[in-house]
Amino acid sequence: MDIFQVIVHLIDLRSFSNMWYWIALAVVWSSASHWVMGVPWDMVGRARRRGGPAAADLVEITLINARRLHGIWADAGVAISIMFPFVLSFLAITGFFYGAEISQAVFLFALPLSGVFALSVGLSHRLCTQPDIEKTPEMVIHALSRHRVWVQAIGVASIIFTSFWGMFQNLRFSSLFF
């Protein structure tokens, strides 16, 4: 084995054996869990503890983000509904049928995040179509808390599945060399 082969073997640039992929996976799910529908989670905790102006601010920023997301979906929902499944299908076919590991890695990021996006669009739709009288701080805190639990559940399932798939890929690839 020459020095080039040793370096290539030590610094493996495949997705599932790359440390940066796993760091990115952790950061993405940590951020998705912290920024629930664009609202930082510490703001929800502060509104729950203090009430008053903090709760009013939480309701306002949540409604602003809900209207923004609802508007994006109203303007580009059809395009997103066509384009995103096409991209996911492309990634799934090139990754799992043709064996491109980078496509597998991106697919395992994008599929669960599309579920989180769908949940966020659904919550924004509910918040935008409810009468204003029902948008109390308690209702908003409850809705964001429930949404966060679902985001965390999707994130945990995604990390577990991605970890098992990555281990399978790494074991399969390493058995070719040893």
Q: How high is the pLDDT of residue 114?
A: 97
d(CA 24, CA 94): 22
Task: Return the higher-pLDDT residue of 87 and 176.
Answer: 87
pLDDT tens digits for 1-23?
677 777 666 665 578 888 888 99
Q: DSSP assignment of 79-129, as one string? A: HHHHHHHHHHHHHHIIIIIS--HHHHHHHHHHHHHHHHHHHHHHHHHHHHH
162-to-42, 65, 104 alpha-carbon distances in Å: 28, 30, 10
End-to-end CA distance of the chain: 13
Q: Which two tokens stand for residue 142?
A: 């409850």
Per the listing, tokens 């990634």 go with 91
Query: How large is the C-alpha radius of gyration of the chain?
Result: 21
Q: How high is the pLDDT of residue 12?
A: 59
pTM of the model: 0.86
| Number of neighbours of residue 174 by Cβ within 10 angstroms | 12
Residues of the chain with pLDDT > 70: what percent? 92
Q: Is residue 165 in a domain?
A: yes
Q: Is residue 35 in a domain?
A: yes
Q: Is residue 2 in a domain?
A: no
Our count of domains for the chain comes to: 1
Owning domain of residue 66: 15-177
Q: Is residue 9 in a domain?
A: no
Q: Is residue 158 in a domain?
A: yes
Q: Is residue 112 in a domain?
A: yes
Q: Is residue 10 in a domain?
A: no
d(CA 141, CA 41): 10
- Please name which of 10, 15, 6, 8 lies closest in space to residue 94, comparing C-alpha atoms: 15
Q: Which two tokens stand for residue 123?
A: 């919550």
Q: Is residue 140 in a domain?
A: yes
- Please name which of 100, 124, 120, 123 lies closest in space to residue 112, comparing C-alpha atoms: 120
Task: Return the higher-pLDDT residue of 102 and 146.
Answer: 146
Q: How high is the pLDDT of residue 121?
A: 97
